Chain A
């Protein structure tokens, strides 16, 4: 307690003392003429000014155009109408620079003068006005100076936290920025650098409100800066996600301006839109505001997928100097155990078996531990405990923590091992991946009563990656689809149950709002479930109630995946599947099918993948419990990472519907 008090007093003292000695800056242009000069130079319309204010051009419904900032917090504007009026904001900001009065801010933030609150604006405007601004102009801004000197940024890195199939909310990945310290010593640790993160400040635990607010701007998004180690522990260790780091080639002046703008953004808050104005988008706008030569957000469609922003950064000529890989904890364990010789590996296997067996009977393990003399085996075992029981350790589960402590004490009595050789890079660097938007065109032929005859297939998918798409840049065996709309144009009248029609119209076959399939291999070291989830709408094919009706659908499955070491590229999975179709059917409103599902996925090469899936189902609602089978396959060969050829098929056998459909065509990514 005394410690906090000391800090508090210290900080208060520093702030007070520093603020009391405000120094006027020597100006080339007289103060009164600065605003005129700025307006003459039309700085209010300067793209950098507009970016610093996060202004965007908006259109009224009558066709008018006006400016509005994405920023919604009044603290971020000096002029009362600053959010909609870049010019008023410019004038108020310039005048504010010479006002020693501190502004009172909301959110319990300490009061600041305009100059101390907006150092990036100050630097930009003063440079344009020919005033040669200097960092020493901020000597009166104790808080900012403390922040700047603590961050000591010399360079900037954009960090991508990989897709995390084991944790559904992370399936699209995440990006943040790292300000690298100006410390060239070899002992320098990037863990102590500062990370800058943009995130929604959630206000509800209700899942529906959460989704609603996240999609439609109900949450505020705010920037935060913290030591990079917070993020490494969270992503690398706790979530076991790989991090990809992209070092940026920026001038020292740009880096300094980024730090100033990051400081300004600490007073800002935005409306958070999960699909557009999200973490990755705001990170790019922050970069663009500080380094106006960058054109990053203009490369993106109106929705923003984190991996696309990485590609926008990577594809900017000369911007990325180096890509670095920071492997997850799980990968570190796998690498450590891969480096062991046969004898050591069998020791490790014994040890991991004992750990699992004695997780609840610590005393027996204690007798066993002293027999382990090999530091490499011990190091791998420590990583195993962390990777397997990371969440329990984190929450200080007494049994696991005590077990770990026994290991650590034993480990500290063994010799220091050779340093771990560099862990090889995974094949999943996001900048190498195909574009997340996919559209496809194909021709199909069908004998199914639900579709029938020849048709042309058109589909668009807003994101992200299916299990047969080129695998480079994505986690192995992953499948995450968002807003995938599939339509057919039939050559003739499609099906008996539809109203007679001469002209072939496009018909929606399926809308996948979300589909996620997680095929994490099961093994005794890490006994993971595999699962699959899909929600959307589709035409029924084989339900007893209706041959072809558009219905809402949700499908869930859970089971196990097996990846044999002996056959390269093969994945086999077995799940129990349940599907519910809800719609206006004859004699009912819902159809439920459940049954076992088996899948085989063969990755012939990273650009050639085939997946088969067979399902045996029973219709639960039918009185005689109708049995049926569905078998489908999809194979895609991609000569280029943004272009693929596919063949897919569907075979159905049930008393109400039977037949086959086959389809082939092109898939394009962007």
Chain B
């Protein structure tokens, strides 16, 4: 019975437009994204699959204030696709990261990241801050280092 009730209400509440409560937003995205790896997604994409991240724009001005913060958020949320793209040496998600790092010669950058896949993602659950550092390190020691605005 409970399952039927759940199904009915889920059906009624489609539109995929129900966010989970996120509490006071403040300058909050930082905490939510970085607090515990992907906890936001895990919490918000729960078994009902409802949608994520109720950060109001009125306060989202405080997000991603530095390149580093932007990269870590990007790595956290895009982890699965980014790992694919780095292993493949190409792809939209990798291009997005290159864009974030201000890289112009993406082919060279992507090749060097691909060569260093193991260093960048040593395990499936490497922390975003670690992955981010390793990405920068891989570029810095490669011929691609002049192609990006790291710093």
Interface residues of A, Cβ cutoff 8 Å to B = 3-4, 7-8, 10-11, 107-110, 143-144, 146-147, 150, 161, 164, 167-174, 185, 187-189, 191-192, 196-203, 207-208, 210-211, 214-215, 219, 221-227, 229-230, 233-235, 237-239, 262-267, 272, 274, 278-280, 306, 375, 379, 382-383, 386, 390, 393-396, 401-402, 404-405, 408-409, 411-412, 416-417, 419, 514, 516, 533, 535, 554, 556
Tell me which of B4, B30, B57, B104 contacts A554 (CB under 8 A). B4
Q: Chain B nearest CB: distance from A366 CB in Å?
A: 15
Bound: A416/B61 CA distance, A: 39
Is the pair B68, A266 in contact by a Cβ cutoff of 8 Å? no
The reply on B136 being an interface residue by CB < 8 A is no
Q: Chain B nearest CB: distance from A417 CB in Å?
A: 7
Is the pair B17, A198 in contact by a Cβ cutoff of 8 Å? yes
Q: Chain B nearest CB: distance from A518 CB in Å?
A: 12
Is the pair B61, A412 in contact by a Cβ cutoff of 8 Å? no
Bound: A168/B55 CA distance, A: 25
Is the pair A187, B104 in contact by a Cβ cutoff of 8 Å? yes
Is the pair B60, A266 in contact by a Cβ cutoff of 8 Å? yes
**What are 29 contact pairs spanning A and B, CB under 8 A?**
A3-B34, A3-B68, A7-B65, A109-B56, A110-B27, A143-B62, A189-B92, A191-B78, A196-B57, A202-B18, A207-B5, A214-B18, A222-B56, A224-B19, A224-B54, A224-B57, A225-B57, A226-B53, A237-B81, A238-B41, A272-B17, A279-B17, A386-B80, A395-B42, A412-B88, A412-B115, A416-B89, A516-B11, A554-B4
Is the pair A202, B50 in contact by a Cβ cutoff of 8 Å? yes
Bound: A475/B63 CA distance, A: 37
Bound: A281/B73 CA distance, A: 30
Bound: A237/B81 CA distance, A: 9
Q: Give residues 122-139 of B contacting A (CB, 8 Å).
A: 123-125, 129
Is the pair A169, B10 in contact by a Cβ cutoff of 8 Å? yes
Tell me if B's interface is mostly helix, strand, loop or mixed: helix
Closest to B27 in A: A11
The reply on B25 being an interface residue by CB < 8 A is yes
Chain A residues with Cβ below 8 Å from B95 are 187, 189
Tell me which of B8, B11, B60 contacts A226 (CB under 8 A). B60
Q: Chain B nearest CB: distance from A393 CB in Å?
A: 6
Q: Chain B nearest CB: distance from A463 CB in Å?
A: 10
Is the pair A224, B61 in contact by a Cβ cutoff of 8 Å? no
Encoded as 1 (CB less than 8 Å from any A CB) or 0, chain B from 9 to 22 comes to 11111111111111
The reply on B118 being an interface residue by CB < 8 A is yes
Is the pair B124, A405 in contact by a Cβ cutoff of 8 Å? yes
Work out how many contacts link A and B, with CB atoms closer than 8 A: 274
Bound: A635/B143 CA distance, A: 65
Tell me which of A110, A412, A514 contacts B114 (CB under 8 A). A412
Chain A residues with Cβ below 8 Å from B129 are 3
Is the pair B48, A169 in contact by a Cβ cutoff of 8 Å? yes
Bound: A227/B57 CA distance, A: 11
Q: Chain A nearest CB: distance from B96 CB in Å?
A: 4
Bound: A144/B30 CA distance, A: 18
Is the pair A210, B9 in contact by a Cβ cutoff of 8 Å? yes
Closest to A264 in B: B58
Bound: A533/B30 CA distance, A: 41
Chain A residues with Cβ below 8 Å from B41 are 233-234, 238, 394
Closest to A215 in B: B12
Tell me which of A4, A147, A382 contacts B60 (CB under 8 A). A147
Is the pair B54, A199 in contact by a Cβ cutoff of 8 Å? yes
Chain B residues with Cβ below 8 Å from A239 are 49
Say whether, besides A168-B10, A224-B60, A107 and B118 are in contact (CB < 8 Å).
no
Say whether, besides A171-B11, A174-B17, A237-B81, A224 and B89 are in contact (CB < 8 Å).
no
Chain A residues with Cβ below 8 Å from B77 are 227, 229-230, 233
Say whether, besides A108-B24, A192-B99, A267-B58, A238 and B45 are in contact (CB < 8 Å).
yes
Q: Give residues 65-83 of B contacting A (CB, 8 Å).
A: 65-66, 68-69, 73-74, 77-78, 80-81, 83
Is the pair B78, A233 in contact by a Cβ cutoff of 8 Å? yes
Say whether, besides A412-B118, A416-B114, A229 and B68 are in contact (CB < 8 Å).
no
Bound: A233/B29 CA distance, A: 17
The reply on B142 being an interface residue by CB < 8 A is no
Is the pair B59, A110 in contact by a Cβ cutoff of 8 Å? yes
Say whether, besides A189-B99, A395-B42, A233 and B81 are in contact (CB < 8 Å).
yes
Bound: A383/B123 CA distance, A: 19
Say whether, besides A169-B13, A187-B103, A408-B83, A535 and B8 are in contact (CB < 8 Å).
yes
